[in-house]
Structure 1
């Protein structure tokens, strides 16, 4: 795992500022503390920070092909590199190292952009082809590894693994995009189709991009997309066998490492499955790490211990409490852009704990998106059946007024909170799912934004890109479209961003075996009832693991890896909540209505509403704006 950066000049013979490129590279030293590399030629400069995991003694970067035609900087892992190396050797390619970077170079020489479809892994890389005078940038299928780009004044094209690498360049436009603020408050993060800064882009997951001297950068090209259009019905025994086999293959391929390796263990189905499969293949006890909370209803350490004892792991635990709030500045600095998924704090804690013992850790991320494991999937599937029975005009006429009349009762037991369901049934499936995925409703955003901010938005709503994505999805049902949106929108923007930044901040490589693309594609072909049925999500995966994991792990209610911030903001951290709502730095931007923000905080503190997530958003935005203004 590494950090990469580069400059590609508009002029083919322009000189690259080596000192500037070093500063861009070394802003990301946490991504690669084991080594640094730099290569510059006319019109091109590539830089690299290395975290040594495979071929520790070899494979320095930037790396050149044997014929010196191509040079690469690469962040990630190609898990099937040994099989590809053997195939390429049979085609006449010679290898000088034992790592996967050189395999990418040879694959490019052999197949060009088509090489991407042959890679099983997580990656973001930049490859300069001297013969074609082209820079080729690529990102893995699901966006595990990030890549930020910017076209600078004068035509220089810059890229880096993190925004902080680009921020080291003095020519970067630091104007904050108001549409990114709208997106951020809708989703709790800035999605991959946008950046916090107007002059910065993110290469989308499953895309590549070509840049040539003297020409505007080519638009990104999609090289991979997941499809839900096919169905594959198998006998239950065959389905379970196929899933277990692919799960085993995915875990085994991600256990290849020349440094110590372990796993995150929450005690949920996904991480428990990964640990079980690791234990079956390891020659020594698997190192596992868990985070607990000082609020009993959210603490899963007892479940994690159950799995640790069953599979004889070397288990480590740490408790998160309000005192960890002191680390919020460091947390914000990991992300550069505002990031308000509060589970980032315990994720950072478990990464720090893991790094004390290992250099690589396997996670259970990706299974909820692939197998429909979120509660929202269960609700959406049920609502879609109701939508199918009644036409939209009738639903709008009946459920819309009912939703308006029904009180919003955050304090009430879940069965009594019918307002959200009534609102959903009055909408199309895409509109309803966008609401269920969001953090702050359009109505609340309308209340907290100032008139000037609303003018700057020009009628744009953050839900629009997601709704369009779902409507154009290669899918057969509403559940298909919801999962497609999760894999294309939510997963790279939230889940994978969270894991990448928090793990890389402590120089830990995180690997996601449940995002093995063969496994995800198999899950996408399963009948809808094998994903959601009887109020259960992720059904096929759970049944495939019944011979391995305890029933109380497989079928207990999903908790999620969340902070007890609602309680904290009404007790130990209530003054922090007030301070976030009254932040001069935020109010000076002109984006907000000051009275509305203050009311939002007070409503939460006294218990009238649950605005914990919105207050966390304000807090993280204030920290991010401060960081960006000081860079």
Structure 2
């Protein structure tokens, strides 16, 4: 895995500030500590930090074609690079290395912009073709690898793997995007293509950018080259589908094992990571390195399930117990993520990456299983709500449940099934509105009170649900469950899950691969009947059926836990003063973004135990940490990493 960055002059061959490019590159040193490289020519500067994974002795970047007219900087892994190398060699291209990066320059020469459709893997890259005076930028189909960019008023186009590299340029505007603030306090992250800064963007998954020099062609041309099809395949018996699923799982995990460095797998004891480790063990015939985190509080610990799988497949299992009150990463995470990011599972994710790096350089994870196979409990809740929507006409349903939702008391202390207020509010909405309401970290009525009148005026009526509405309008399916999966694959997966893993792993120079998000596997799974994914209230139905001969019933059918931490008690106990200092002090007040009386109400109600406002308070705490460590402090490399707090 690597870090890439660059400066491109759209309007001519202006001189590139090499020292600025070097500073931008060094902010991402943690992404590639093995080597660094720069290339500067008239109107173009490219930077690269390398984490050596394949072809350790060569493959340095920036990497050129034979005559030096095409150069690329690349972050990721192309899993079919050997096949492409053979095909391109037969077409007359000459390779000087056995590195997957070199495939990209020759694929561009052969197929132009369509080269990305031939790549199987995770990638973000920028390629300069001097003869065509063209900069080509691309991001992989699911958004596994990040790419940020900005077009400055002076005609310079900046790009990088992380926002901190762009912040190294003092000319980059620092103004917050009001719409991004609204989106953050709805989703807990800023969804693609927006960033927290006005004028800075993320390249959306499955998209490319083409920039050509010249007054009439200067603006970036963005194009989508892939989408999740959700086209139902032929109807077959479930047993046949399960057998094919297992074979496809073996193939896709096998394709992700290519490396010249030490390799292992994350093992939480859940279905997805256990399935990946099982395939690794079967395919390699060797003792696989696995790692997991344990907590000293049984309510948050599932390490015994991971140990069970490790014993079954005789892995070299590495496990570390950390204190459940491991809350000392707030400022560090803000510096790593560059944007406000409110998923508290970033803390244990950081720790498991820290542990993995002690024994491996590449780790396979089970991310993507829940989105592919409808594993989240919220899908079950949403489908139950959908049944009610189907039975009651909209003219009756909206006023009835709208009234109940407004007047029913809030019971955030109760289990989800007993939170009638939340259910009533969802039933008063359509499918997309109801799902948005269910996944939001704070509902519309809370955000309306949280955001200041001035910010609401700037929003001019904009609401975060428009992100989901935009994706829903392009969804290739009318099935309700498939639509919700599509929405998650477009928002939650790249914006939350993949962002979390990329920043946490790269902080430790660890490459994480996600075989369940191989695009060919995702395409095939999307075409399976929805009833085989969520079946009689059981998520991942066909996935679990396929694995019944491989994993035990304890692993397949236990209740899902996830990487949860005791947020509510942290914010009332050890972080009590931190909450008061960060949220009620001058930092948030000076922004003018919030109704500070309401912020104080949230803090007092939570810390008194009268209400549970853990999600909004954590979101505010991470927003304050972003202001303090990123926006006010300026850009810089990641700080020294603290050791885990042992139990």
- TM bin (shorter chain): over 0.9
SS in 1 for 2:74: strand
Q: Which runs of 5+ in 1 are unaligned?
A: none
SS in 1 for 2:491: helix
Alignment correspondent of 2:644: none
In the TM superposition, residue 131 of structure 1 has moved relative to its aligned partner by 1.1
Q: Is the 8 A contact 1:582 1:597 kept in 2?
A: yes
SS in 2 for 1:499: helix
**TM-score when normalising by structure 2:** 0.96
In the TM superposition, residue 474 of structure 1 has moved relative to its aligned partner by 0.7
Written as runs of structure 1 = structure 2, the 5 A alignment for 1:159-174 is 159-174=159-174
Q: Is the 8 A contact 1:352 1:506 kept in 2?
A: yes
Alignment correspondent of 2:55: 55
Written as runs of structure 1 = structure 2, the 5 A alignment for 1:427-442 is 427-442=429-444
In 1, distance between residues paired with 2:537 and 2:51? 43
* Pairing 1:153–2:153 present: yes
In 2, distance between residues paired with 1:391 and 1:472? 25
SS in 2 for 1:171: coil
Partner of residue 630 from structure 1, selected from 610, 623, 633 = 633
Larger mean CA deviation between 49-58 and 206-215 belongs to 206-215
Q: Is the 8 A contact 1:228 1:480 kept in 2?
A: yes
Alignment correspondent of 1:237: 239
In the TM superposition, residue 224 of structure 1 has moved relative to its aligned partner by 0.6
In 2, distance between residues paired with 1:414 and 1:499? 27
SS in 2 for 1:8: strand
In the TM superposition, residue 18 of structure 1 has moved relative to its aligned partner by 1.0
In 1, distance between residues paired with 2:583 and 2:117? 47
1:537-565: CA deviations, max 9, x gaps? 11111111111011111111111212221
In 2, distance between residues paired with 1:130 and 1:58? 23
Alignment correspondent of 2:289: 287
Q: Which runs of 5+ in 2 are unaligned?
A: 635-647
Partner of residue 219 from structure 1, selected from 218, 221, 237 = 221
In 2, distance between residues paired with 1:361 and 1:156? 37
In the TM superposition, residue 417 of structure 1 has moved relative to its aligned partner by 1.6
In 2, distance between residues paired with 1:332 and 1:264? 24
In 1, distance between residues paired with 2:464 and 2:353? 31
Q: Is the 8 A contact 2:583 2:624 kept in 1?
A: no
* Change in CA separation of 1:256 and 1:95 when aligned onto 2, cut-off 3 Å: same
Larger mean CA deviation between 281-290 and 527-536 belongs to 281-290
**TM-score when normalising by structure 1:** 0.98
Alignment correspondent of 1:359: 361
SS in 1 for 2:412: coil
* Pairing 1:31–2:31 present: yes
In the TM superposition, residue 3 of structure 1 has moved relative to its aligned partner by 0.4
Partner of residue 595 from structure 2, selected from 593, 596, 613 = 593
Alignment correspondent of 1:400: 402
In 2, distance between residues paired with 1:600 and 1:216? 48
In 2, distance between residues paired with 1:232 and 1:399? 39
In the TM superposition, residue 322 of structure 1 has moved relative to its aligned partner by 5.2
1:170-207: CA deviations, max 9, x gaps? 11111111111111101101111211111211111000
SS in 2 for 1:326: coil
Alignment correspondent of 2:642: none
Q: Is the 8 A contact 1:295 1:564 kept in 2?
A: no
In the TM superposition, residue 469 of structure 1 has moved relative to its aligned partner by 1.5
Q: Is the 8 A contact 1:228 1:476 kept in 2?
A: no
In the TM superposition, residue 388 of structure 1 has moved relative to its aligned partner by 1.8
In the TM superposition, residue 323 of structure 1 has moved relative to its aligned partner by 4.8
Alignment correspondent of 1:330: 332
In 2, distance between residues paired with 1:220 and 1:59? 29
* Change in CA separation of 1:240 and 1:204 when aligned onto 2, cut-off 3 Å: same
* Pairing 1:193–2:193 present: yes
In 2, distance between residues paired with 1:543 and 1:443? 42
Alignment correspondent of 1:140: 140
